[in-house]
């Protein structure tokens, strides 16, 4: 054998004799066949590209090699799974046949159910060779199955962790802060509150999934989509954007997905601490400390997330205790400030930094403090609060009911709208100016005074009817208030009639 084909020469002695003989005959009849076979062996076993290949082949070597490796791994895994399943079925069949041959003892026989195997949970989508922070801290394949999310070792295929899909509640895609290159972080939660209780059976009661990718692939990235026919491998080449791949992963996960954007909140601090953002329009979060732990607060219209490092926690706007206490910004010095989030106390829930009920049993919420926030972020945080505090403490059902009530107001509500200050028709300012003006004598002044008294009695000139003096109310609200007043008056009249009746009886 020629020295230019070391891989082929190395494996020939280990091949089956008949197959090795055919390989040698092929190579003896055609020298190019020897080099082709050696190159194929290099390609399949993950070795480096042969030096005698063309520049085009060398440029595609790594990318195509990874794709073929994944296909072969999937085919091998499916083959071994089918073989295992057939063996289990044959074993069950022999077991039941043996049981049927036994003589009856007169009692009823209930067959045991078939065991549920891991293979029954079919794979849907796989992200290959991803560095994960939680629930394990290593590089793994992340595979979405029909009922679970599994993390497997890239080489040995050993199962590292499993998370039921039914336990997952929210997913977030974050433009990671503090990175020298644009980077994305994916955070998937099973609970808004982090469970500080010790896990049971080596599994946390509310697991968190955290992993990340550079915004531009530093090497070829592959994914596999599984279908009824055969797996489909997709390759993201080096230097290409990875966000579409992450969005495809989250779409297969089928949980509510949130992404903070600079249109909702934008950090005022840009520099070494914030790093290079994957979102080119700005950083939609601030650097903060929870105790001694550094992290980021991400502001979204749905709420605020503490991430990217574990443990993450989410404050939905409807879970904040109220407009004034839901989020407070405390500034003890001119350089930094503290954000205090107060979540509604939930029965049996995990306590925050400070929470519970007061002496009267009123919910005072769970306070969580985030300190050492740059004071330049305060105006942006205040603006976010002004935009969304009307949602603090309101469930989604209540929000829709309020919106529906506003939409249901009929055309007659226009009769109750206050006139603007710019409208001179019947406004207080125009009548004041007309009454103050003029050069007439005392008689004219007396007549104008009488007219003014009459105008004061008019409804449109009442002080409470000035623009802004009273909030706009719908006809339904006004009718309700009028009804309550009428009921009180009717009740008062009834009490008066009863008193008169009692006095008449005493006089008789």
> What's the confidence (pLDDT) of residue 249?
97
More confident residue, 167 or 497: 167
Residue 33 binned pLDDT confidence (cut-offs 50, 70, 90):
confident
Question: pLDDT tens digits for 291-332?
Answer: 999 999 999 999 999 988 789 999 999 999 988 899 999 987
Boundary of a domain, candidates 258, 274, 296: 258
Residue 25 lies in a domain: yes
Same domain, 295 and 399: yes
Classify residue 117 by its DSSP letter. Answer: P
Residue 360 binned pLDDT confidence (cut-offs 50, 70, 90):
low
Residue 464 binned pLDDT confidence (cut-offs 50, 70, 90):
low
Same domain, 151 and 206: yes
Q: How many whole angstroms separate alpha carbon 327 and alpha carbon 321?
A: 9
Residue 490 binned pLDDT confidence (cut-offs 50, 70, 90):
low
Same domain, 355 and 315: yes
Same domain, 234 and 320: no
Residue 377 lies in a domain: yes
Same domain, 234 and 306: no
Residue 105 lies in a domain: no
Same domain, 296 and 245: no
Average pLDDT over residues 178-186: 93
Q: Which domain holds residue 308?
A: 286-404
Which of 39-43, 269-273, 422-426 is predicted with the least confidence, judged by mean pLDDT? 422-426
**Spatial CA neighbour of 211 closest among 185, 235, 234:** 185
Boundary of a domain, candidates 364, 385, 404: 404
Same domain, 124 and 245: yes
Residue 190 binned pLDDT confidence (cut-offs 50, 70, 90):
very high
Question: pLDDT tens digits for 235-244?
Answer: 999 999 999 9
Give the CATH number for residue 148.
2.30.29.150
Same domain, 386 and 302: yes
Question: pLDDT tens digits for 76-116?
Answer: 766 655 555 555 555 444 444 333 333 333 333 333 332 33
Give the CATH number for residue 393.
2.30.29.30
DSSP character string of 144-191: EESSEEEEE-TTT--EEEEEEGGG--EEEEEE-SSBSS-EEEEEEES-
Same domain, 137 and 33: no
> What's the confidence (pLDDT) of residue 322?
87
Residue 494 binned pLDDT confidence (cut-offs 50, 70, 90):
low
Residue 503 lies in a domain: no
> What's the confidence (pLDDT) of residue 228?
77
Boundary of a domain, candidates 404, 428, 450: 404
> What's the confidence (pLDDT) of residue 493?
57
Residue 92 lies in a domain: no
Same domain, 298 and 246: no
Same domain, 314 and 234: no
- Helix 55-101 and helix 31-45, axial crossing angle in degrees, nearest 10: 70
Residue 453 lies in a domain: no
Same domain, 234 and 301: no
Domain count, the chain: 3
**Spatial CA neighbour of 180 closest among 61, 92, 94, 278:** 278
Burial class (CB in 10 A: 0-12, 13-18, 19+), 252: middle
Residue 209 lies in a domain: yes
Question: pLDDT tens digits for 217-226?
Answer: 999 999 999 9
Residue 82 lies in a domain: no
């Amino acid at each position: 054998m020629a020295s230019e084909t070391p891989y082929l020469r190395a494996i020939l002695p280990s091949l089956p004799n008949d197959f090795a003989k055919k390989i040698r005959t092929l190579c003896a009849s055609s020298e190019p066949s020897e080099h082709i076979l050696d190159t194929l062996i290099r390609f399949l076993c993950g070795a480096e590209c042969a030096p005698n290949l063309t520049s085009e082949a060398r440029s595609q070597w790594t990318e195509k090699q990874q794709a073929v490796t994944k296909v072969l791994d999937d085919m091998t895994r499916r083959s071994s799974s089918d073989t295992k399943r057939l063996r289990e079925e044959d074993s069950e069949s022999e077991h039941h046949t043996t049981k049927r041959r036994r003589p009856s003892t007169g009692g009823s026989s209930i067959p045991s159910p078939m065991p549920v195997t891991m293979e029954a949970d079919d794979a849907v989508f796989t992200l290959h060779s991803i560095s994960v922070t939680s629930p394990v801290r290593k590089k793994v394949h992340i595979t979405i199955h029909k009922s679970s999310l599994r993390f497997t070792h890239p080489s040995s295929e050993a199962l590292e962790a499993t998370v039921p899909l039914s336990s997952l509640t929210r997913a977030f895609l974050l433009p990671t802060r503090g990175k020298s290159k644009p980077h994305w972080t994916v955070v998937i939660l099973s609970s808004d509150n982090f469970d500080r209780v010790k896990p049971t059976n080596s599994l946390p009661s509310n697991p968190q999934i955290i992993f990340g990718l550079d915004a531009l692939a530093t090497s070829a990235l592959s994914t596999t989509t599984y279908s009824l026919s055969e797996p489909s491998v997709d390759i993201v080449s080096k230097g290409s954007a990875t966000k579409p791949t992450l969005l495809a992963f989250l779409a297969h996960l089928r949980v509510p997905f949130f992404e903070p954007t600079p249109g909702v909140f934008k950090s005022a601090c840009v520099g070494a601490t914030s790093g290079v953002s994957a979102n080119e329009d700005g950083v939609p979060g601030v650097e903060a400390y929870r105790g001694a732990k550094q992290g980021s607060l991400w502001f979204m219209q749905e709420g605020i997330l503490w991430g990217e490092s574990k443990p993450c926690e989410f404050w939905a706007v409807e879970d904040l205790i109220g407009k004034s206490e839901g989020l407070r910004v405390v500034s003890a010095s001119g350089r930094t400030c503290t954000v205090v989030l107060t979540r509604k106390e939930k029965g049996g829930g995990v306590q925050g930094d400070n929470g519970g009920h007061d002496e009267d049993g009123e919910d005072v919420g769970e306070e969580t403090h985030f300190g050492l926030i740059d004071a330049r972020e305060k105006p942006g945080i205040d603006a976010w609060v002004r935009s969304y505090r009307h949602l603090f403490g309101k469930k989604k059902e209540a929000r829709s009911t309020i919106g529906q009530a506003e939409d249901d107001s009929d055309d007659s509500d226009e009769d109750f709208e206050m006139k603007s200050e710019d409208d001179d028709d019947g406004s207080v300012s125009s009548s004041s100016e007309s009454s103050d003006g003029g050069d007439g004598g005392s008689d004219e002044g007396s007549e104008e005074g009488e007219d003014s008294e009459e105008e004061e009695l008019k409804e449109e000139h009442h002080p409470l009817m000035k623009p802004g003096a009273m909030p706009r109310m719908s006809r339904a609200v006004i009718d309700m208030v009028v009804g309550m007043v009428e009921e009180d008056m009717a009740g008062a009249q009834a009490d008066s009639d009863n008193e008169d009746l009692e006095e008449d009886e005493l006089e008789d």
